[in-house]
Structure 1
Amino acid sequence: MVVSENSTRQSLLPSYLYSSSAYSKILDYESFQTRNPSLPSSNGTVSSSKSFLVQAPSEPPGKIEMYSPAFYAACTFGGSLCCGLTHVALTPLDLVKCNMQIDPAKYKSISSGFGILFQEQGVRGFFRGWVPTLLGYSAQGGFKYGLYEFYKKYYSDLAGPENAAKYKTLIYLAGSASAELIADVALCPMEAVKVRVQTQPGFARGLSDGLPKFVRSEGYSGLYKGIVPLWGRQIPYTMMKFTSFETIVEMMYKYAIPTPKDQCSKQFQLSVSFAGGYLAGILCAIVSHPADNLVSFLNNAKGATVNDAVKKMGLLGLCTRGLPLRVIMIGTLSAAQWVIYDSFKVFVGLPTTGGVAAPASTGLANV
């Protein structure tokens, strides 16, 4: 909520300590005491009006200035929180998806995939690789959301107010692509270890032994072997995620919701974030799925190439293998991420994402 600099601040001290009516009562008591010397003196408690009257505090509360370093830090933390938590929560689905992509003859369906994992590894097996998942996607989410907010503002300023409004979709696309390009550099090493741990039983228990073993086997450069396919998966994914979310939410407030966004409750705005996030997630899954199959294939097999993946899986297999599960997974993931991210923004006093054009001038938000 935008707060005016001249807003009246309420004192945390009781009003009677500085109200004029209380002071009048004290003066009446002192006058009465003068006529009745036997009454106890008020000296020591009230020596004068100046020593008694307490001014109401006027210090403004803490504020986050829009597009300030504190604003981008809050968005970075919110992005790290939403991506890290949601990816860890969906680790069982990710495990089944990766194994369906790598060994479709064994993992023929979603239900059979869960059954095989449970029989072979037990309940603990469903969360194998959760540590690199948490670290990798927390880092990626922080860069992704924080830099998206930065580049969206940066490109809008370059374009100017009129062009920024006219070409806002292009600004969303450029901002999200720029952010994801950097975010994937932080994600790639953890993604490589995660896939190897999840798809090769016996390779390692997790990050602590999996990372050193991976480096001994393929060197540090091997951690970035999948960076190009990762960019191929994540950049289109993020471009679709942010652009479609912003567009869907704006359309919902414009055509489906009769009440302006700033008049809707925060709970209602978060429900819009969930719906917009889920629809955006479905589109993301479809666009980025072929590259997701490539990332899983390359990180599972030492020395594998993109041509090897195309020959073994075929173009149709790259586009469809594991897609139904990924649609469910990414739709849920995207919706949960937008709700967590916007909930954190609301918690620190910032507006939720999308629905209205960004303010032309810098504003202030309560924390």
Structure 2
Amino acid sequence: MAAPGKIHQNHPFAVPQFTVRDYTSFFAAGALCATISHGGMTPIDVVKTRIQIDPAFKGLGIFSGTRYVIAKEGPAALLTGFGPTAVGYLAQGGAKFAGYEYWKKTFVQIAGDQDTAVKYRSAIYLGAASVAEFFADILLTPLEATRIRLVSERGYATGLVTGFTRMAREGGIRELYAGFLPILCKQIPYAIGQFTVNEFCHELVFRSMSEDTKRNLSGTSKFAIALGSGITAGFAAAILSHPADTLLSQINKGHGPEGSMVYRLTTLAREAGFKGLFAGLGPRMIMTAGLVASQFLMYGEIKRALHAPPGLEIHKED
């Protein structure tokens, strides 16, 4: 998200005025980077979900789990759920990245001056990520429910359209959005880790450089900074969101007692225990580091290709 148009302490306070076209470009870049990255990670996600919910996969890791899936069901099984993954994250990614740009700018304007914005930048990052993710998850939830059902229940449907149609017909809106609360519990911490940690990683790196060094950074150095920041943010996002990710898989498979969603989540969490809630974390950390790093790299390149303006930065300079 690094760019000109920063807010610097002791510099004139100026917030870029993004146009509808700018936000359309942000949405398109976010949609493409999210659907490409999540679609490419489908095989790892299949194995991760099986480890979380299938007793036959208990104790397996990413490599042994992958071999087990191929041996039992063939290589094609690793692409189960690709359709809803690609479509779901096309909508969610666009809304999340464009929403983060919008809400970060909005909260900076609410702060009123540059010193206040810099002082409370952590709250701005957290707030922008959370609000953007909330609205993005309204689009994601029914497609994520379809994906998990396809992965966890073999033979449920042949793909996105048939799976979504069956869930809508048999369970209606209630079943399609049964996982909305756990998705929020998963995706909001994920977004906080993704955006906030990435922002602070860039800040730490650039604060250690002189102005002359910053101006003369090579393309390779910029790439290395973006990659390292993205990987670190990905690890943070995976750790923060994994317990809710495990519960989401359980909820969408129909596990847990009858009752309110809060009661079901509390009961499932208690039954799983600390170890159970973090089952499959290793594969997911690998997956999420790749997802987040690749998304930020692609997002920046796609924005440049679309001639979109850089995002607003509020990094502390010293």
Question: TM-score under structure 1 normalisation?
Answer: 0.75
Partner of 1:341: 299
Change (3 A) 1:271 1:73: farther
Match of 2:289 among 331, 334, 338: 331
Flag structure 1 segments of 5+ consecutive residues without an equivalent.
3-64, 359-367
Larger CA Rg, structure 1 vs 2: 1
Q: How much does 1:240 deviate?
A: 1.7
Q: How much does 1:219 deviate?
A: 1.7
Partner of 2:49: 98
Q: Does 1:168 align with 2:116?
A: no
Q: Matched residues in 2 for 1:260 and 1:224: separation? A: 50
Flag structure 2 segments of 5+ consecutive residues without an equivalent.
5-15, 258-263
1:222-233 → structure 2 map (5 Å cutoff): 222-233=175-186
Match of 2:28 among 77, 91, 99: 77
Whichever residue aligns with residue 143 of structure 2, its letter is M
Q: How much does 1:349 deviate?
A: 3.8
Match of 2:273 among 314, 334, 349: 314
Whichever residue aligns with residue 317 of structure 1, its letter is G
State the secondary structure of the residue aligned to 1:218. Answer: helix
State the secondary structure of the residue aligned to 2:208. Answer: helix
Q: How much does 1:353 deviate?
A: 5.6
Q: Matched residues in 2 for 1:341 and 1:95: separation? A: 25
Partner of 2:8: none
Aligned length: 295
Deviation track 1:234-287 (CA, whole Å, cap 9, x = no partner) reads: 011101211110110111122167755444345532332111110011011111
Contact 1:342 1:353 in 2 (8 A): no
1:146-185 → structure 2 map (5 Å cutoff): 146-161=98-113, 162-185=115-138
Q: Matched residues in 2 for 1:306 and 1:106: separation? A: 22
Deviation track 1:301-343 (CA, whole Å, cap 9, x = no partner) reads: 267521442243223311x211111111111111000100011
1:267-306 → structure 2 map (5 Å cutoff): 267-301=220-254, 304=257, 305-306=264-265
Q: Matched residues in 2 for 1:303 and 1:313: separation? A: 11
Q: How much does 1:79 deviate?
A: 0.5
Whichever residue aligns with residue 93 of structure 2, its letter is G
1:18-167 → structure 2 map (5 Å cutoff): 67-109=18-60, 110-161=62-113, 162-167=115-120
Change (3 A) 1:141 1:299: same
Change (3 A) 1:240 1:263: same
Q: How much does 1:106 deviate?
A: 2.9
Question: TM-score under structure 2 normalisation?
Answer: 0.86
Give the helix-richer structure, 1 or 2.
2
Whichever residue aligns with residue 339 of structure 1, its letter is L
Q: Which of the pair has the greater relative contact order for Cα pairs under 8 Å at 6+ separation? A: 2
Contact 1:251 1:355 in 2 (8 A): no
Q: Matched residues in 2 for 1:94 and 1:301: separation? A: 19
